[in-house]
Copies of this chain bind each other. A is one copy, B any other.
Amino acid sequence: MVQPLRLGLAGLGTVGIGVVKIVQQHADLITARTGRPVVITAVSARDRTKNRDADLSAYAWETDPVALAQREDVDVFVEVMGGHEGAAKAATEAAIAAGKDVVTANKALLAHHGQTLAEAAEAAGRVIRFEAAVAGGIPVIKALTEGLAGNRITRVMGVMNGTCNYILTRMQNAGLPYETVFEEARQLGYLEADPNLDVGGIDAGHKLSLLAAIAFGTRVAFDAVELEGIGNVSIEDIELADDMGYHIKLLGVAQMSGRGLEQRMTPCLVPAESPFGQLQGGTNMVMLEGDSVGQIVLRGPGAGEGPTASAVMSDVIDIARGLRLPTFGRPAATLVPAVPAKAATPAPYYLRMTLLDKPGALAKIATCLGEAGISIDQMRQINQPGEEDDDAIVIFVTHKAAPADVAHALTSFAQTGVLVGQPVAIRIEEL
């Protein structure tokens, strides 16, 4: 008689209830696929009295997730509470110490404590799995760790925060400013309690740092992610970029080069016709690039009850099937400290500025670019219609330029005396 795999489920929010539903509704299917029943024995959440969309009466209740993690009748601690300190961390540590495997959706916890937790789990002969922590229902951790394991990974790119992509595409499609759409998103319940986790790029940055660790065999280095949120993306830039064949996305890029590890989660221009450019709404997309395989693009729902629970269950089912791997695809003790690149790889840039209506103004700006070693691919001047003496908006798309040279050019623009306000510079990423 095969023993069932017994889950202790910490967290009964959207994702937790999704897990309960799959375990209950697909019991036979899962047993057929794993050869072993998967059952929930105990659950925990802050509020027992809350009305939830699932029958939990068969499960033991723990108020304290640490107690749940330590129960004798739990084989796998499933953590879908969230938060990178406090209860989630304490309970995960307790689970490992008690000899449980861990399945978690908690990107923040692993971005901050992944190395320590992975080392502890491997010392205890236990696994930590986190498919649900990155890109929701897309099996990207598995694709990268296992599916492309024969490749030297050269680059990983991704749109991995559905809320930011919703806001940016809604701005573009409706011609609305950031503040308006942000407020819409808040009212729709799309934002985290701390909205800066979403719109500040932090949540997506957490995910990027986990992918980078797997891709490059480096310790998770969230603090080295260059982070910039979408709060400064203007509807003006979205529309001007669109006119030139680009869309603006909060795009993550992790790449390893002779310079070291680059990790960026910043607003970028991408070609409108590219897979990333065409991504609408809350959908996530990740591109994995390997030296043999080339580019693999994965697309799917990045959040929500069903998709995230699907990812949690894929980890649970791997454990039920006996498929066990180190957290980041190789033993945690062999992960090397990431050496952050001092400067990002050169890229084309989008530059927007407003020039005073003075003779020679454009020539001065062009001279600054030339002196910074930056050559121009496209230029457009947009005069306000109907008013002859108005200031002119000028857009440049440059050829590839080093970020330091772009910064130098921006500084020298300021000294020309022909600019109105601050210029805007946005990196262009091309697949």
- Stretch of A46-54, A107-115, A316-324, A404-412 contacting B (4+ beta carbons < 8 Å): A316-324
Which of these, B296, B312, B322, B323, contacts A138 with CB under 8 Å?
B296
Measured between alpha carbons, how far is A330 from B320 in the docked complex, in Å?
13
B152 touches A147 (CB 8 A): no
By a CB distance below 8 angstroms, the chain B residues around A146 are 139, 142, 314, 317-318, 323
Query: Can you report 22 residue pairs joining A to B where beta carbons are below 8 Å apart?
Result: A30-B150, A35-B330, A137-B293, A138-B296, A139-B147, A139-B296, A143-B143, A143-B147, A149-B313, A149-B318, A150-B309, A150-B313, A151-B310, A291-B306, A292-B307, A293-B300, A293-B306, A294-B300, A296-B298, A298-B298, A322-B324, A323-B325
Chain B residue at minimal CB-CB distance from A131? B147
In the bound complex, CA of A245 to CA of B151 (Å): 38
A329/B147 in contact, CB under 8 A: no
- Given B217, B300, B309, B314, which contacts A297 in the complex, CB threshold below 8 Å? B300
A267 within 8 Å of B by Cβ?
no
Interfacial chain B residues near A306, Cβ < 8 Å: 291-294
The yes or no answer to A24 lying at the interface (CB within 8 A) is no
Q: Mark A142-166, 1 if CB is under 8 A from B, else 0.
A: 1100111111100000000000000
Please, which residues of chain B bring their CB within 8 A of the CB of A300?
Answer: 293-297
A56 in contact (CB, < 8 A): no
Q: Which of B34, B291, B293, B310 contacts A301 (CB 8 A)?
A: B293
Residues in B with CB closer than 8 Å to A318 are: 146, 149
- A201 on the B face (CB < 8 A): no
A34 to B297 CA separation, bound complex (whole angstroms)? 25
Q: Which residue on B lies nearest to A304, using beta carbons? A: B294
- State A294–B312 Cα separation when bound (angstroms): 15
Q: Identify which of A35, A143, A150, A318 gathers the most chain B CB atoms within 10 Å of its CB.
A: A150
Question: A290-B310, A298-B297 given as contacts; is B152 within 8 A of A26 (CB)?
Answer: yes
Does A363 count as interface, using CB distance less than 8 angstroms? no
* Nearest opposing residue in chain B for A306, CB measure: B292
Which residues between 197 and 224 of chain A lie within 8 Å of chain B, taking CB atoms?
A: 217
Q: How many residues of A contact B (CB 8 A)?
A: 58
A292 to B20, CA, bound (A): 12
Task: Report whether A32 and B307 are in contact in the complex, using a CB–CB cutoff of 8 Å.
Answer: no
> Which residues of chain A (114-153) have a CB below 8 Å from chain B?
131, 137-139, 142-143, 146-152
Smallest CB separation, A105 vs chain B (Å): 13
Number of copies: 2
Give chain B residues whose Cβ lies under 8 Å from the Cβ of A147. 131, 139, 142-143, 314
Known: A137-B292, A297-B299, A299-B299. 14 other contacts (CB 8 A): A21-B292, A32-B217, A32-B330, A32-B334, A139-B296, A146-B323, A147-B314, A150-B309, A290-B310, A293-B307, A294-B300, A296-B298, A298-B299, A323-B323
Contacts of A321 in B (CB 8 A): 325
Chain B residue with Cβ nearest A273: B278
* Neighbouring B residues of A139 by C-beta, 8 Å: 142-143, 146-148, 296
* Nearest residue, chain B, Cβ from A141: B147
- Centre residue among A131, A142, A292 by max chain B CB count within 10 A: A292
- Is A343 located at the chain interface by the 8 A CB criterion? no
Q: What is the distance, in angstroms, from A325's C-beta to the closest C-beta of chain B?
A: 6
Q: A253-297 toward B: CB 8 Å interface, digit per residue (1/0)?
A: 000000000000000000000010010000000000011111111
**Contacts A296-B137, A300-B297 given: A150-B275 contact, CB under 8 Å?**
no
Q: How far does the Cβ of A101 sit from chain B's closest Cβ, in whole Å? A: 15
A185 on the B face (CB < 8 A) = no
A331 at the interface (CB under 8 A from B): yes
Report Cα–Cα, A247/B275, bound state, in Å: 18
Contact B278–A293 (Cβ < 8 Å): no
